[in-house]
């Protein structure tokens, strides 16, 4: 495997080599320099603005993982800022406990923020988008009301003094460096996550949730972790905010702030770190240039939001993405290299057979599948054909857990597959592709394929956050394996390209590469040949045969009889949810009912 991967690399030195890493880091380094040298240029009021931008970014960086990467519309994040600000201030002031040192208070605030981040975030796991947005909005309203009402602790409408951090951070510029340092750390940490399997899994949940599940990504665990992190940094930002304001009242935490955070991310662009960072700086600084407009700033943010949503949904990040505006070669053929399957898939898995016994499922009065028996054996290609509505895709969906059969059983090596736990299928090495390719359009082809290997990473979220060795090893392995998978299906030249620029047939092969990342014992292909040219179908057929040859059991749902008869060892013909015929290709070809009903003379 390693030898193959190293052989691949020299031909594409610029794909993800050190040059491109450096150019990606360049804007951040520039901002770092500007930030460090800022006190040389000016002072006074601009120092406050710069500190404020840093504080906001500490919050936005975490929120960015939720909104920009995870696609969860959390509009009430100011609630966590409020929570952090009050927790820190109250603990330092000693209203309830003995007065605590500011750093300890800030740390406690982070813990409280993490817990509440999780609580606010939990509904996202079950609720639809608008519901979640409304829930966060409701939470934001309520936190402010509580701050107002709980006079004995928060001081009510009168407020409470913010914490003062001891020297060397007590002076204006000292405090600025403190905030700037934290902002820089947050940038580094979230950039690490963004470039890790966790960041890619988040974008997969955002843009292709079913594909994420099929790749074994457990949405609750992942989003839960991200909400914890995001809540913690938001509360830290709150503590800093309180110190910066030096005195806080509930009035300081209007929904306008929430909107500012949220819009900063959207202006910046989803799935980017640099974009939202620039967005935050822009939105913090802009109103200062137009003093008369300060009252109108939220109105202008709202206008900006509308314009972005309607006109440039990609935000700043897309405008800055020069690399992906270069035209692609127009005449590019997909030439799979099945010989690479051996290093990619390794030794044939020993999984037994995947069997369906008497499976039945109806939707209302319609019997989608009715007493279906099926056996997929390792190393064999099993074809599932039949007219539209005969239950082919439904069968796939029962196997991958999107539907639960009402009768019968789906067994892997004799053991029943768990109901509901769709992402567990990936751990059992059952991979699949989709009738309409489910791809993260804004991610590169390589990243899309790497999503398929998410469950093979060993490092934890914390390790990725801090870029510890295990994270880096995971990434290197995933990258090499994904390059190998891409080379296997014949797409390695497109590895760095944004996936939404690909042609339809290329997306189909990308999905196969992603599925191969699981080293599948069983591979379910849902109409893999739809939309492919005759030549591509032929190559696809050879690739599927080679995959089966490596020991994988393949189930193909297809409409192209030629492909099915060429590659299948065994064919099941469905009609109205029932088996019309089953047997070898030769038997099916000779089956009179099948020929009459489906194949034609």
State the minimum distance, in angstroms, from the CB of residue 122 to other proteins.
Answer: 7
- Pick the closer one to other proteins by CB: 294 or 476: 294
- What percentage of the chain's residues is helix, strand, coil (to nearest 5)? 60, 10, 30
Q: Which of 417, 70, 354, 394 is nearest to 212 (CA)?
A: 70
State the minimum distance, in angstroms, from the CB of residue 315 to other proteins.
Answer: 12
- Pick the closer one to other proteins by CB: 47 or 268: 268
- Pick the closer one to other proteins by CB: 122 or 360: 122
State the minimum distance, in angstroms, from the CB of residue 332 to other proteins.
Answer: 28
CA 409 – CA 358 distance, rounded (Å): 7
State the minimum distance, in angstroms, from the CB of residue 508 to other proteins.
Answer: 16
Q: Which of 471, 468, 472 is nearest to 459 (CA)?
A: 471
State the minimum distance, in angstroms, from the CB of residue 210 to other proteins.
Answer: 6
State the minimum distance, in angstroms, from the CB of residue 127 to other proteins.
Answer: 6
Alpha helices by DSSP H, 42-101: 45-64, 78-93
Binding-site ranges for other proteins (CB under 8 A) = 73, 75, 122-123, 126-131, 133-135, 137-139, 141-142, 145-146, 148-149, 210, 255, 259, 266, 295-296, 298-299, 301-303, 305-306, 309-310, 313, 363, 393, 397, 400, 402-403, 434
CA 125 – CA 136 distance, rounded (Å): 13
CA 278 – CA 13 distance, rounded (Å): 30
CA 78 – CA 86 distance, rounded (Å): 12
Angle at 143 between CA 140 and CA 146, to 5 degrees: 150
Q: Which of 305, 67, 60, 37 is nearest to 187 (CA)?
A: 60
State the minimum distance, in angstroms, from the CB of residue 75 to other proteins.
Answer: 7
Please, what is the angle between helix 197-207 and helix 219-245, to 10°?
100
- Pick the closer one to other proteins by CB: 56 or 139: 139
CA 582 – CA 568 distance, rounded (Å): 12
- Pick the closer one to other proteins by CB: 68 or 551: 68
- Pick the closer one to other proteins by CB: 24 or 305: 305
Tokens representing residue 12 in the block: 């594409």
- Pick the closer one to other proteins by CB: 128 or 592: 128
Q: How many CB atoms lie within 10 A of CB 44?
A: 8
State the minimum distance, in angstroms, from the CB of residue 310 to other proteins.
Answer: 5
- Pick the closer one to other proteins by CB: 126 or 592: 126
CB 432 within 8 A of CB 397: no
């Amino acid at each position: 495997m390693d030898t193959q991967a190293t052989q691949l690399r020299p031909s594409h030195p610029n794909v993800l080599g050190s040059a491109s890493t450096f150019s990606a880091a360049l804007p951040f380094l520039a901002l770092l320099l500007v930030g460090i040298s800022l006190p040389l240029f000016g002072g006074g009021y601009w120092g406050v603005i710069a500190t404020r931008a840093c504080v906001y970014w500490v919050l936005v960086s975490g929120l960015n993982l939720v909104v920009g990467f995870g696609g969860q519309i959390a509009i009430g994040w100011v609630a966590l800022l409020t929570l952090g600000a009050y927790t820190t201030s109250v603990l330092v002031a000693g209203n309830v406990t003995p007065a605590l040192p500011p750093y300890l208070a800030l740390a406690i605030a982070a813990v409280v923020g993490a817990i509440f981040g999780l609580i606010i975030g939990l509904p996202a796991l079950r609720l639809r988008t608008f519901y979640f947005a409304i829930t966060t909005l409701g939470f934001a309203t309520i936190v402010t009301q509580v701050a107002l009402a709980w006079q004995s602790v928060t001081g009510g409408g009168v407020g409470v003094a913010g914490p003062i951090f001891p020297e060397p951070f007590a002076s204006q510029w000292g405090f600025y460096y403190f905030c700037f340092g934290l902002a820089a750390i947050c940038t580094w940490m979230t950039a690490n996550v963004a470039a890790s399997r966790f960041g890619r899994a988040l974008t997969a949940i955002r843009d292709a949730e079913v594909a994420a599940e099929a790749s074994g990504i457990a949405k609750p665990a992942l989003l839960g972790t991200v909400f914890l992190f995001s809540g913690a940094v938001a509360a830290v930002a709150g503590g800093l905010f309180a110190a910066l304001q030096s005195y806080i009242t509930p009035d300081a935490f209007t929904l306008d702030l929430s909107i500012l955070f949220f819009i900063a991310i959207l202006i910046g662009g989803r799935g980017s770190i640099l974009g939202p960072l620039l967005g935050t700086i822009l939105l913090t600084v802009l109103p200062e240039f137009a003093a008369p407009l300060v009252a109108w700033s939220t109105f202008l943010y709202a206008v900006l939001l509308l314009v972005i949503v309607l006109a440039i949904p990609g935000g700043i990040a897309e405008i800055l993405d020069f690399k992906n505006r270069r035209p692609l070669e127009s005449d590019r053929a997909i030439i799979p290299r099945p010989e690479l399957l051996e290093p990619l898939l390794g030794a044939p898995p020993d999984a037994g057979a995947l069997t369906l016994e008497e499976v039945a499922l109806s939707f209302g009065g319609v019997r989608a599948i009715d007493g279906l028996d099926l056996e997929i054996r390792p190393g064999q290609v099993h074809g599932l054909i039949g007219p539209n509505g005969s239950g082919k895709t439904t069968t796939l969906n029962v196997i991958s857990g999107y539907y639960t059969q009402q009768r019968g059983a789906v067994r892997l090596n004799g053991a029943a597959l768990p109901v509901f736990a769709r992402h567990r299928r990936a751990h059992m090495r059952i991979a699949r592709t989709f009738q309409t390719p489910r791809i993260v359009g804004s991610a590169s082809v390589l990243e899309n394929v790497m999503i398929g290997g998410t469950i093979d990473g060993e490092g934890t979220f914390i390790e990725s956050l801090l870029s510890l060795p295990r994270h880096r090893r995971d990434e290197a392995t995933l990258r090499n394996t994904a390059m190998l998978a891409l080379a296997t299906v014949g797409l390695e030249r497109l590895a760095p390209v944004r996936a939404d620029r690909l042609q339809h047939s290329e997306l189909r092969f990308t999905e196969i590469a992603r599925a191969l990342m699981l080293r599948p014992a069983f591979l379910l292909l849902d109409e893999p040949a739809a939309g492919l040219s005759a030549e591509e179908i032929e190559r696809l057929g050879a690739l599927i045969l080679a995959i089966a040859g490596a020991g994988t059991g393949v189930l193909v749902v297809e409409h192209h009889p030629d492909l099915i008869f060429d590659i299948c060892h065994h064919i099941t013909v469905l009609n109205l949810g029932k088996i019309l015929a089953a047997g070898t290709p030769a038997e099916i070809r000779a089956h009179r009912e099948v020929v009459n009903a489906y194949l034609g003379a």
